[in-house]
Amino acid sequence: MRSDTRHSTPPELELVKVTKRFGSFTANEDVSFKVEPGTFHALLGENGAGKSTIVKCIMGYHAADDGDIIVAGASRDIRSPYDACKLGIGMVYQHFTVVPAMTVAENLILARPDLPLFINWKKEYSRLREFLETAPFQVPLEAQISELAAGQKQKVEILKQLYLNSQILILDEPTSVLTPQEADEVLGMMRRMVDDKKLSVLIITHKFREVTTYCDEITILRKGKLAGAGKVKDLTTSEMASMMMGEQRKGKTIQKAELKPGATVLELRDVRANRDNGIEGVCGVSLSVRAGEIVGIAGISGNGQRELVEVLDGQRPATGGEVRVAGEPFHMTRAEISKHQIYVLPEEPLRNACAPLMSVAENIALRTFDRPPLAIAGTLLSDSRVRANGRQWIERFNVKTPGPDAAIGTLSGGNVQRAVLARELGPGTAKALVAANPCFGLDFAAVDFIHSQLLAARNNGVAVLLVCEDLDELLALSDRVVVMNGGKLVYEAPVAEANIREIGERMAG
Amino acid sequence: MTDAESLGWWGVPIAVLGGALRGGTPFLLVSAGECLTEKSGKTNLGLEGVLLIGAMTAYAVSVNTGNPWAGLLAAGMAGMVLGFIHAVLAQQPKVNDIAAGIAMIIFGSGLAFFFGKAYIQPVAEQLPGIEFGWWSSHPAIRSALRICPLFFFGVAVVFLMQWFFESTRWGLFVRAVGDKPDAARAMGISVWGVRTCSIMAGSFLAGLAGAYLSLYYPGSWTEKISGGQGMIAVALVIFARWNPVGCLWASLLFGGAQALGPALQSVGISSYYYLFNASPYILTLLVMVLTCTNKKQLAGQPGALGASS
């Protein structure tokens, strides 16, 4: 590690009355807070509260209109991430900033500001290996990023900052793609580095558990303004929540109705599929989901869950086995989907379930636009009917959009997920639903909404297959939990009898 | 009696080899340039126009100075100027680089025809060839093994480029910009700068290819001299999977296939002459079909290629 150049304790970071406007819209107003050297500082707030904007000001993406950013006692003019890097500030973004076509080693090297003109790979590799020995987790250096799962990509992002020897690390929801064990491992390791006064951390998170376990201080934003701050040990989670939301708001939680699961709807028999690189990623999965139950697939990302979901939504050809629905073979054709009413909520819905440049209404109508009642006489497309239909679901599912004609790609993540959910579950005719990480990166309100929709579907007799990397979420929702590891199912139990420690062990292998 | 006849059927592979080295060189230079351009995430269809400008400039400078090397350099420079225009055009918001490229083809060829009118008649000093066939008494072998130094330059360029992409700072920058511009920006890399340099360097190579056409093979300035080679080079890059060394093999294959028709004609097979002349295209289609499967993703394609902004 290159720990030679900088002084040992991290510098102090202070924001004084920072204001950022975009035209007439004020994203941040008079925001002040201080990250003391060697502390773990949480930045809380709902989606749209201005957390991302404020950290982007620190990183030099945006120039603040007013106020000062003080690093190590002097006001700094940070104009680019490169300037921030020189001050020892690094950031791990919510969206990945690794280059997919490059290897892990190339990505780590690329981030170095002092990257030599000519790269001596032998030397660099030995330096990287040396660095990895001190790192909290391991990622294969030769692997190409595009072959890695989300969790592993996130690890590369964090490793990159550690490799750059950043002393103030800004993390934007870093654990949303990690298993609880991985999250604890990563945050625990950061905590130790903070305790050793090697690092200050500013973390944006939605998870109170992480705040109470790892953080020293919090700053809470609401609608771009400072809504509260304090030491974590002096505050309760409900106090934090009420500062965030403005008033005490209660999540509407639908209770799991006591149901006797019905007939088997979705059945997988020895399903096999390859990864993008041609190596088998799903190695014979057999599983059945009955009406009125949620079967949760737990597992560390990259163990074949993504490939399995892609087989079920028709994006990836199965190399073996079969999928049956209601006893009949199912080949994911549009006709069969319509006949059996099998719906999917894939991960990254904007990429996997939407046409980003088409309007919200058109996206909501993707499954039904060519059928009555949306199509005139079942053949002619009707813009007005599609729009009216869209408007209805936008309202019912509370999708925040400028209108039914706005391109769905311009919506925030939570609202894209709501629109897709409206399409898949809205009509209420679904017999089975496959959902993959449906709450990834969403705020409390959106997560609550999606959970209640999934439970409502289950209570109405839908067979739900839920793939989720957040184990707490999975255990809260599922009736039966299975663990996927190395492309195989290695554990199965009803959730009431599930042993968390055993699940963790099976996930880890 | 033609050269090939004296060797009988042996004339065919020798003519194909000669064609691969001689006819493949412009493909090699243009596709290497296009490979660099596309790795940075932009397409430059305008290389067809650059080829014509390069051919005309090289010929004109060689006529006027009597020095073909000065012509070569001038052609590269002229290519860079055109490349710069394309770089500026293609990076405007909401401008599609394919459309800008087509505009550049028309602009480049129009400009070349306009200034080139006066140079159709005069004879220019040609680039020298190196005789590798001195050991043979067969004129066919001697002519096949007469190789322009630009071929070796092209070979060196592709191997250097391979190394450049893997083991230099700027090579990694080009790949990062081409695959994920946002990530590159996050690291403080100037996407505009990297792309502009890549497009200009690529156009420089295409300009040299133009000089090769007018100053070596076929070695005269006419308006039809490029014959779509700039466009074919774009296909060659896809064919080579954005791998510079792959561009070398693809260019040789294409150059060799081009020589098949004339070679067969010279041994007396004149039926299907036009069919054999189409062999490079048929071959390309065949190899494309055989190497593409829906199971593998198109490895090597830069992620930002074809994306707007």
CATH code of the domain in which A220 resides:
3.40.50.300
Cβ <8 Å between A274 and B183: no
State the residue range of the domain holding A375.
264-508
- In a mutational test of the A interface, the residue from B164, B185, B187 whose CB has the highest number of chain A CBs within 10 Å is B187
Rounded to a whole number of angstroms, the distance from the CA of A78 to the nearest CA of chain B is 12
CB within 8 Å of A242: residues ≥ 6 apart: A248
Facing residue for B303 by CB, picked from A95, A100, A110? A100
Q: Are strands B146-147 and B130-131 parallel, antiparallel or unpaired?
A: antiparallel
Are residues A127 and A35 both part of a single domain? yes
Q: Which residues of B touch A98 (CB under 8 A)?
A: 180, 183
- Chain B contacts of A101, Cβ < 8 Å? 175, 178-180, 300, 302-303
Same domain, A285 and A348: yes
Q: How many structural domains are present in chain A?
A: 2
Q: What is the pLDDT of residues B237-278, one digit of tens each?
A: 988 889 999 999 999 998 888 888 888 887 787 778 888 888
CB-closest option in A81, A93, A119 to B168: A119
pLDDT of the residue at A509: 62
Q: What is the rounded distance in angstroms from the CA atom of residue B224 to the CA atom of residue A345?
A: 56
CA A80 from chain center: how many Å? 26
B295·A81 Cβ contact <8 A: no
Q: Please tell me the predicted confidence (pLDDT) of residue A508.
A: 66
Chain segment B1-48, per-residue pLDDT in tens: 444 446 677 888 888 898 899 999 999 999 999 999 999 999 999 999
Calpha distance A94→A295 (Å, rounded): 28
Do A430 and A317 lie in one domain? The reply is yes
Both A234 and A334 in one domain: the answer is no
- Asked whether residue A258 is domain-assigned, the answer is no
Question: What was the ipTM of the complex prediction?
Answer: 0.84
Question: Which has the closest alpha carbon to A345: A447, A434, A265, A415?
Answer: A434
Question: Is there a domain that residue A1 lies in?
Answer: no
Do residue A197 and residue A138 come from a single domain? yes
- Identify the residue among A97, A147, A275, A310 best suited for mutation to test binding to B, counting B beta carbons within 10 A and taking the highest: A97
Q: Is residue A415 part of a domain?
A: yes
| Residue A283 touches chain B, beta carbons under 8 Å | no
Residue A38 within a domain: yes
For A157, nearest residue in chain B (alpha carbons): B183
Q: How far apart are CA A42 and CA A58, in angstroms?
A: 15
> What residues of chain B lie within 8 A of the CB of A93, using their CB?
186
CB A62 within 8 A of CB A53: yes
Residue length of chain B: 309
What is residue A73's DSSP assignment? T
Residue of A nearest to B183 (CA): A97
- Domain boundary residue, one of A182, A215, A245: A245
pLDDT the model gives residue B24: 93
Same domain, A427 and A504: yes
Own/partner pairs, B128-132, CB within 8 angstroms, 24+ separation: B128/B68, B129/B216
pLDDT, residue A47, reads 64
Q: A240 with A271, same domain? A: no
- Residue A122: count of CB within 10 angstroms of its CB: 8
pLDDT band at B90 (very low <50, low <70, confident <90, very high): very high
Say how far apart CA A306 and CA A309 lie, in whole Å.
5
Span between the terminal Cα atoms of chain A, in Å: 30
CA distance B207 to chain A (A): 27
Of A81, A96, A317, the CB nearest to B187: A81
Interface residue A63 vs chain B (CB under 8 A): no
Q: What's the gap in Å between the CA of B178 and the closest CA on chain A?
A: 9
Set of chain B residues whose Cβ sits within 8 Å of the Cβ of A274: 295
Which residues of A326-363 form beta strands (DSSP E)?
A: 328-329, 342-345
* Regions in chain A scoring below 70 on pLDDT: 1-7, 47-48, 94, 150, 176-180, 245-255, 508-509
Of A245, A277, A294, which closes a domain? A245
CB contact under 8 A, A115 and B302: no
- What pLDDT score does A6 carry? 47
Window 342-371 of A: residues touching B by CB (8 A cutoff) are none
Q: Where are the alpha helices (DSSP H) in A62-149?
A: 81-86, 104-110, 121-134
Of B167, B187, B303, the CB nearest to A111: B187
Q: Is residue A70 part of a domain?
A: yes
**Number of residue pairs across A and B with CB atoms under 8 Å?**
68
Q: Say which of B168, B170, B182 has its CB closest to residue A97.
A: B182
Same domain, A239 and A273: no
pLDDT tens sequence across A74-91 = 999 988 888 888 888 999
Taking contacts as CB-CB distances below 8 angstroms, the residues of chain B near A307 are none
Domain end residue (candidates: A217, A245, A273): A245
Task: Identify the residue among A87, A95, A99 best suited for mutation to test binding to B, counting B beta carbons within 10 A and taking the highest.
Answer: A99
For A283, residues 6+ apart whose C-beta sits below 8 A from its C-beta are A272, A304, A486, A487, A488
A220 and A307 assigned to the same domain: no
User: Per the structure block, which two tokens stand in for B117?
Assistant: 């009118």
Where residue B137 falls among pLDDT bands split at 50, 70, 90?
confident
A236 domain-assigned: yes
Burial state string for B1-27 with b = 16 or more CB within 10 A and e = fewer than 16: ebbbeebeeebbebbbbbbbbbbbbbb
Please tell me whether residues A413 and A351 are part of one structural domain: yes
* A230 and A300, same domain (yes or no): no
**How far does B179 lie from chain A, in Å, by closest CA?**
6
pLDDT at A425: 85
Is A2 contained in some domain? no
Give me the domains of chain B, ranges plus CATH numbers: 3-291 (1.10.3470)
My answer on whether A286 and A207 are in the same domain is no
Question: Does A79 lie at the interface with B, CB-CB under 8 angstroms?
Answer: no
Question: Which of A263, A268, A311 minimizes the C-alpha distance to A290?
Answer: A263
Q: Is residue A6 part of a domain?
A: no
